[in-house]
Homo-oligomer: A and B are copies of this chain.
Amino acid sequence: MTTIKDIAKVAGVSVTTVSRALNGYSDVNENTRQKIIEVAKQLNYIPNTIARSLVMNKSKTIGLLVSGLKRESSKDNFTFEVLAGVNQYVGETDYDMILFSTNSTKQREKTYTQLCRERRVDGAILQGIRIDDPYLQEVVESDIPCVLIDIPIKSETVGYVTTDNVLGAKKAVQHLLELGHKHIGMINGHEFAFVSVKRLEGYKQALLEAGLPFYEDWVVNGAFEEERAEREALALFTKYPEITAVFCASDLMALGAIKAVKKLGKRVPEDIAVIGHDDIFLASYSTPPLSTVAQNVFAMGYEAAKLLIQMLEGKAESHVKILKTELKIRESTVKSHE
């Protein structure tokens, strides 16, 4: 393997000059630097990024801490799309990414901060962390730059990317209101998810603006799980037969709600209209196809990586990025007239 000694010999300069030229120090003459870079290319020099990272105190690596890299989560493609988005942006830069999964037993023993320090990442993106996670506080208070997905914490070293969840939920409920529904339930995720708190807020706002009352009992938690949501929906529809429409805080839970309606021998949307949130691939394949609030998860990953790298390079103008949603109307709320 070629070393910087070899490059120094061929280029006719000192080893120190080669090192300083390749590491981007400004005290090397530009012509000399160009010559050194050319020689390095000719000799097929592979820089030792690890050794360099010790010198520069930069690893050019970002950590991605995700909680959803589990077999079960391939059904909603959330984690995958975040990953694909991060990967797309990172691929456009000279950074690499290290993936840490926060659900393995190993990672629970170490805090996120320890993980980041051990692997010397320059910064981290956190996805799928509950707001009651004790390690979240720690990493946010540390000096490790990080970007959170769907958790609104902002500081000098912390930024976040999220979707306008209040408005998204509001649009979904307003769509149901426009169809004439007056008794609208909600199947939410869980109270430790920031998005659930916000989507509930949007649901309440839409009812309030329409002059309708808010009944706490008409909101149940389905933990973002299809089966759990099916059970909760079944109980909700049985107890309150006046409910004619339901907004679900995720598409997977909406698929569960559709199953519950069918189990009761009722029809979607004629008896109970169902609208979800996310626009996962399954949404357009379900029977009937699912109306939903589409969020651009790929863009969330892409923007999170972009924001983090801007922060690392001192170029971030804002530490917050909020993405828009889009209402997709399908047959689970509006019967087609084919």
Interface residues in chain A, defined as those with a beta carbon under 8 Å from any beta carbon in chain B: 1, 46-51, 53-54, 59, 61, 69-71, 73-75, 77, 79-81, 83-85, 87-88, 90-94, 96-101, 103-107, 114, 117-120, 281-282, 285-287, 298
Contacts and interface: CB of A to CB of B under 8 A. Distances in A.
Contacts of A96: 98, 100, 119
Contacts of A98: 61, 96-99
B99 A84 contact: no
A102 to B, nearest CB: 10
B50 A54 contact: yes
Could you say how many copies of this chain the assembly holds?
A: 2
Contact of A118 (B47, B85, B101): B47
A101 B80 CA distance: 13
A118 B49 contact: yes
Contacts of A119: 49-50, 96
Most buried by B among A77, A80, A103: A80
A142 to B, nearest CB: 12
A281 B77 CA distance: 11
Contact of A282 (B88, B90, B282): B282
Contacts of A51: 54
Contacts of A298: 71
A77 B73 CA distance: 10
Contacts of A118: 46-49
Nearest to A72: B84
A49 B59 CA distance: 13
B105 A91 contact: yes
Contacts of A106: 91-94
Nearest to A282: B285
Nearest to A103: B91
A92 B101 CA distance: 11
A104 B80 contact: no
A69 B50 contact: no
Contacts of A90: 104
Given A1-B117, A70-B88, 10 more contacts: A49-B120, A61-B98, A74-B77, A74-B80, A77-B77, A83-B83, A91-B104, A91-B107, A94-B106, A285-B286
A74 B81 contact: yes
Given A46-B117, A101-B87, A105-B92, A71 B81 contact: yes
